[in-house]
Amino acid sequence: MKRRDFIKATAASAAVVCGPETALARPNLEPAENAVGMLFDSTLCVGCKACVSKCKEVNSMPPVIEGDKLSWDSARDLSPKTLNVIKVYKDGTAESKDQEVDGFCFEKRSCMHCVDPGCVSVCPVTAMRRDPLTGIVTYHADACIGCRNCMVGCPYNVPQFEYDEAFGQIQKCQMCNQAGVERINNGQMTGCAEACPTGATLFGTRKELLKEAKQRMAMKEGEIYNYPRGDLSKPDHYHEKAIPAYQQHIWGEKEAGGTNVMHISAIPFDKLGMPPLKERSSASIAEGVQHSIYNYLALPAIALAGLSFVIRKNINEDTEDQGGNS
Amino acid sequence: MSAYQPVGGKYFTRPFIFFLIVFLIGFYFMAERFILGMGSISNLNGGFSWGIWVVYDVVIGTAFACGGYAVALTVYVLNKGKYHPLVRPALLTSLLGYALGGFGAFFDMGRWWQFYNIFLPWHWNFNSVLLEVGLCVALYIGVLAIEFSPAFLEKIGSKKLLNRVNKMMFFFIALGVLLPTMHQSSLGTLLIAMGHKVHPLWQTWQFQPLMAIISALTMGFSIVVFEGAFVSVGFNRVSETPLLRGLGKAIVGLLITFLAVRFSLLLIQGNVAYLFKGDMASLLYLLETVLFVVPIYILISPVRRANGGKLLLAAISMLLGGALYRFDAFLLTFDPGPGYSYFPSMPEMMVTLGIISLEIMVFLIVVKTLPVLPREKHS
Amino acid sequence: MSKREIDFLEMDFSEVTRRLGVSRRVFLKFCAGVAASLGLPPGAAMAMAEAVADPKKRPPVIWLHGQECTGPTEALLRSEQPSFEHLILDLISLDYHQTLDAGAGHQVEDIKKKTMLENKGKYLLVIEGAIPVKDNGIYCKIGGETMLDITHEAAENAAAIVAYGSCASWGGVQSASPNPTGAQGAPEVLKDKTVVTIPGCPPNPANFIGTVLFFVTYGKLPPIDDKGRPKWAYGRLIHENCYRRPHFDAGRFAKDFGDEGHKKGWCLYQMGCKGPETYNNCPSLEYNNVGGGVWPVGVGAPCFGCSEQGVGFAKPLFSLSDVLTHTPPNTFPEIDDREGPQGVTATTAALAGAAVGTAIGAGLVTARKVNEKDTSDADE
């Protein structure tokens, strides 16, 4: 093979992969038709952490003990022992709630249940799956090899590996629907939504929740709104409260293909630790590149055939020239 | 009569004992990891779930092990027969690098007792880049073993088997060129799914596989130069500089391509501003660029290229640059979100150093025992 | 033992114990308790005991009633340690009180006028009930005069003014929307005066007595907040000291009267408890020394926010309260708090440096040797 030919062939295949729109790029995945999810309204959260303790109860998670204070669950972030945690945003004197400067607010951290989940896309052994009906992103330890690519591939750092166990596994929120819990399948709502006294964590289908969120956005600040609690399709309570100064942004409507767990807040989301995501999911780009190269293994097969032919020819020539073996 | 011969000599030299001690320390921690879990010896956390075990042992380690790939490509595909003497030592380092990279991957696996799941087709997720990397690397280790097997077969004198292997060799060499092309590019593709966590100076999206494969090839050629120099000094053999300097030309071409693509992408993707931020990322980018430009400067001149010392310096600079490129993208500028940071723990580093030591020890034993290095013309 | 403490112990309290009908031990304990809850140094207890023991210092008190249900007085009637009769007979000189005065009509009105004249600038004015201001205050008249005028007149020469009860403090139930009589609290009516408010519906008599004792002892009023409330009694949210607080922190909420959580004594927040936005000391004092956790939250009724302007009589009973503070704040992780090992140590940095350094060093040494070898090879 001539060097020029080789470079030509290489450049051609590179062009296939790296073109402005790779040959087999796919769009973001669409939400499941009846995807269930949650809406977290940071302005309603009073920081009671009912959701944190209920989550631990439902998922049989131990408290996180810091130092020798044995009395309190002091989880600082998501971990293999904590699938859901309430964090505080504080600025300056932290005087008023839902105020960006000199204010504070609470923010929930738990799996966002992406519509186009990075963890599912990157998992080599299909241990992460998106439920086709509910859209819940589930984890299956029996398949998992512990490579932790899901952790790297998750924009929100949600999956957490049990580093401290000799035989650990990944832990993540599965919307209280994992085998043995199955609250959603039994017609219940998630533990956190059930426990939340203010409806800051609201359970429902993605469609309903998105509608609810947009309705709140559309109202004027100060207007009285009847906030539902629990399950949006059949709220157990309502309570009246004035509409706060919402950011006109529903986190999870579009970010990286959207999420089934959506957030709204009076404070910009970058202050609340949300990642700088674009509308296109990274997973869709990675898969586009991967499939451009490996679709039906056509490209590698052609390359192998070509290489075999060239190499065989070259070896034979060498052997004839030198009479030696390789 | 084979063109290769064992070097011979005693095994327990002073450097060997040094590496043995490092390995034993690493081994101690490896055992601890399997008994108490990864958390007991590593600094891995929720944001940095891939530490040096993945990034050095697998991502960089296998790039260092691209010597066999680069030489096979040159000798068999581009038909430059004069480089033939470089094939076996290059294959040996590749085999060792990849085998230990594979071991590193296994060692890093959180659920290692289920590692075979990646070989079970009903578990496969064809969207996963890591699946491609895993299967391809596993296959390539086998291919490398076959490619290297003549050295072993010659030693035990199994002529029949040797002939059979040699007859099929063209196919394995072809695989041996194809597979690294696949997984070395995929190691770059891995970065795409990490999205915003990868710094914009390194996140080139669909160009990641291209950047990875060019730099891997460059590192492959460099490691051959590097290893050639060390072998000739270490075993007091004839200098291979006259042969190695030819590879310098290939390195220059690849490097210029790499930098050209990289800078154009910076412009096209609109990330130039990040260069002038003066932060850690921009400094690391600058350092990388220096490490890439130094070898271009050295190797572009036939005079400097003919100087063995300078040639080696160019190779080292290139290897450091390639390693830094990967470290930067995967670890140093990797940003999972506010509050996360990572630096490997002492045991974590000792494990990696232990694996490197093991690699060197096995290399020393094998070249002393098996016909790997070319027969000296006069000695 | 300091001299003052010896004085304290050796003081003759036989007179005071006889008058108040409590033992010396109980009396001293009470003084120490009040002093402590007022946030005063230990010596204050003795000063207080001295002031109480010395009957000469009894300040005259004018007690006005406006729009109200007389709840605060009724609450005070049931107070103990000291009991109400000892309060009005021994600690203060209750010269005018429309509910309790034995006399009536012109007789008491004359006494009031006389007292105000004789004790100009010395008497304590207690206002109970809201003051309607609409239509020149015609909606509440006593003896032909409007409450508005009476208040202004009495406040003119008062040494101190205490608004006792929510109505007097900020209007209370009378001021609830639509407030047809324009009911206001004393601080609003007496804008140029300092008014100490003891809100509550009814207020806790202990908060009143403590404030009066302070006044009796020091001749001035205790430190107050921007709403005129003594800081010692209203410095903290009910939520902060509530013994159901651990249930709030653990997310255990009663959802309805009589449900499982309610029976188990869980947090009443979800039923509309206003403890998180109401300043009062109910959880620590409870109510009127009944004991056994007798105060609204203690008996399973969500706090109504009776002592908080804008909450009690303003917010619906079962609406959720705003949680004003989140103490202690350090129990909340901040956005960038993370679990697990983070960062670099000197040892690890040194080891990494050594490893990379050794590799580069070995490379440089070899580079030099290669050069030597190349030269010697060329020579051969």
DSSP characters over B323-340: HHHHHIIIIIS---STT-
Tell me, what's the pLDDT at C25? Answer: 75
Same domain, C227 and C109: yes
Over range C352-375, report the average pLDDT: 88
Q: Is pLDDT above 60 for B57? A: yes
State which residues form the domain around A294: 3-26+285-322
> Which chain B residues are Cβ-neighbours of C378 within 8 angstroms?
none
Q: Rounded distance, CA C207 to CA C169, Å?
A: 14
3-class secondary structure, A51: helix
Is residue B285 included in any domain, yes or no? Answer: yes
Phi, psi of B80, rounded to the nearest 5 degrees: -100, 85
Q: Rounded distance, CA A136 to CA A110, Å?
A: 13
State which residues form the domain around C283: 236-333
Would you call A125 an interface residue with chain B, using a CB distance cutoff of 8 Å? Answer: yes
Is residue B360 included in any domain, yes or no? Answer: yes
Tell me if the bond preceding C178 is cis, omega within 30° of 0: yes
Count of structural domains within chain B: 1
> Which chain C residues are Cβ-neighbours of B47 within 8 angstroms?
338
Count of structural domains within chain C: 2
Partner-chain contact B46 A78, CB within 8 Å:
yes
H or E, element range at C96: strand C93-97
Would you call B43 an interface residue with chain C, using a CB distance cutoff of 8 Å? Answer: yes
Q: Is pLDDT above 60 for C8? A: no
Which residue of B206, B337, B338 is in closest CB contact with A22? B206
Tell me, what's the pLDDT at C2? Answer: 44
Instruction: Tell me the pLDDT tens digit for each residue of B85-139.
Output: 899 999 999 999 999 999 999 989 999 999 999 999 999 999 999 999 999 999 9
Is residue C365 included in any domain, yes or no? Answer: no
Instruction: Tell me the pLDDT tens digit for each residue of A234-276.
Output: 988 888 889 999 999 999 999 999 999 999 999 999 999 999 9
Q: Rounded distance, CA A34 to CA A30, Å?
A: 11
Q: Rounded distance, CA A305 to CA A323, Å?
A: 26
Is residue B345 included in any domain, yes or no? Answer: no
Same domain, A146 and A208: yes
Is residue C101 included in any domain, yes or no? Answer: yes
List A202's β-bridge partners, or say none: A39
The residue among B199, B33, C343 whose CA lies nearest residue A146 is: B33
> Which chain C residues are Cβ-neighbours of B309 within 8 angstroms?
367-368, 370-371, 374
Same domain, C276 and C315: yes
3-class secondary structure, C249: helix
Shortest Cα distance, chain A CAs vs residue B12, angstroms: 31
Partner-chain contact B343 C337, CB within 8 Å:
no
CB C230 within 8 A of CB C222: yes
Is residue B321 included in any domain, yes or no? Answer: yes
Please name the residue of chain C whose CA is at the shortest distance from the CA of residue A238: C319
Shortest Cα distance, chain A CAs vs residue C243, angstroms: 15
> Which chain A residues are Cβ-neighbours of B76 within 8 angstroms?
310-311, 314-315
The residue among A105, A131, A49 whose CA lies nearest residue A245 is: A105
The interface predicted TM-score (ipTM) is: 0.92
Same domain, C159 and C249: no
Is residue A31 included in any domain, yes or no? Answer: no
Is residue B378 included in any domain, yes or no? Answer: no
Tokens read off for A318? 């060498």
Is residue B156 included in any domain, yes or no? Answer: yes
Would you call B40 an interface residue with chain C, using a CB distance cutoff of 8 Å? Answer: no
Partner-chain contact A325 B338, CB within 8 Å:
no
Same domain, C109 and C196: yes
Work out the pLDDT band at C183, boundaries 50, 70, 90: very high
CA distances C23 to B184, C5, C86, C187, C214, Å, are: 91, 19, 14, 39, 21
Q: Which residues of C touch A (CB under 8 A)?
A: 248-253, 255, 267, 269-270, 276, 316, 318-320, 322-323, 326, 329, 331-340
Same domain, C213 and C304: no
Partner-chain contact C332 A47, CB within 8 Å:
yes
Over range A158-174, report the average pLDDT: 95
Partner-chain contact A88 C332, CB within 8 Å:
yes
H or E, element range at C195: strand C195-198
Partner-chain contact A237 C255, CB within 8 Å:
yes
DSSP string computed for A177-223: -STTT-TTTTT---HHHHH-SSSSEEEEEHHHHHHHHHHHHHSPTT-
Partner-chain contact B128 A149, CB within 8 Å:
yes
Is residue C135 included in any domain, yes or no? Answer: yes
Tell me, what's the pLDDT at C12? Answer: 61
Tokens read off for A80? 């293999």
Q: Which amino acid is at B297?
A: Y
What is the residue-averaged pLDDT of chain C? Answer: 84
CATH number of the domain at C295, please.
4.10.480.10
Same domain, C199 and C249: no
Same domain, C221 and C301: no
CATH number of the domain at B149, please.
1.20.1630.10
Instruction: Tell me the pLDDT tens digit for each residue of C238-293.
Output: 998 899 988 887 778 998 999 999 999 999 999 999 999 999 999 988 887 777 78
Shortest Cα distance, chain C CAs vs residue A191, angstroms: 11
Is residue A208 included in any domain, yes or no? Answer: yes
3-class secondary structure, C331: helix
Work out the pLDDT band at A154, boundaries 50, 70, 90: very high
Q: Rounded distance, CA C80 to CA C286, Å?
A: 13
